[in-house]
Amino acid sequence: MLVRNELKLAQAAVTRKGKQAGVGIGMLGRAGLIACTAWRLIALYGMACLIACAVIAISAVVAAWLAALMVGVALVAAAGVAALLGIGRPQKATPPVPEEAAASIKTDVEVVKYSVGGDRIWTGRRP
């Protein structure tokens, strides 16, 4: 009876500590998510400030609407160049065939075909 009560007490303590650890891990994960989102917003607003700074700097030379148009066209052009450079990347990666492994398998098949005929030893060349 005493051992059974001690086991129940130990089980309750472990359960309580496990729940506390789980809550702590969940809070830590939530904090990480919030921090990640905050950094993205900071980066977004930082870029917006730099773009506004470029518009203001150019507007000292030309009209403000023209400066904003010039910066907007430059941003769209930069996005277009990035898209054109990135569009070919997936095409270069296809088909996803492990060429070295395929060549090795072909060699293995040739070795088996050659060796089935008798006590010959594969030398890497066809006879």
For the segment 53-110, what is each residue's pLDDT rounded down to a tens digit?
Answer: 999 999 999 999 999 999 999 999 999 998 888 887 766 666 555 666 667 777 777 7
Burial of 15 (0-12, 13-18, 19+ CB in 10 A): exposed
Percent of the chain surpassing pLDDT 70: 72
Work out the mean pLDDT of the chain and round it to a whole number.
79
CA 55 to chain centre: 34
Longest Cα–Cα distance of the chain, Å, equals 91
Mean pLDDT for 33-39 is 81
Domain limits, the chain: 2-96, 97-127
Helix axes 2-59, 64-87, angle to 10 degrees: 130
- Residue 50 pLDDT > 90, yes or no? yes
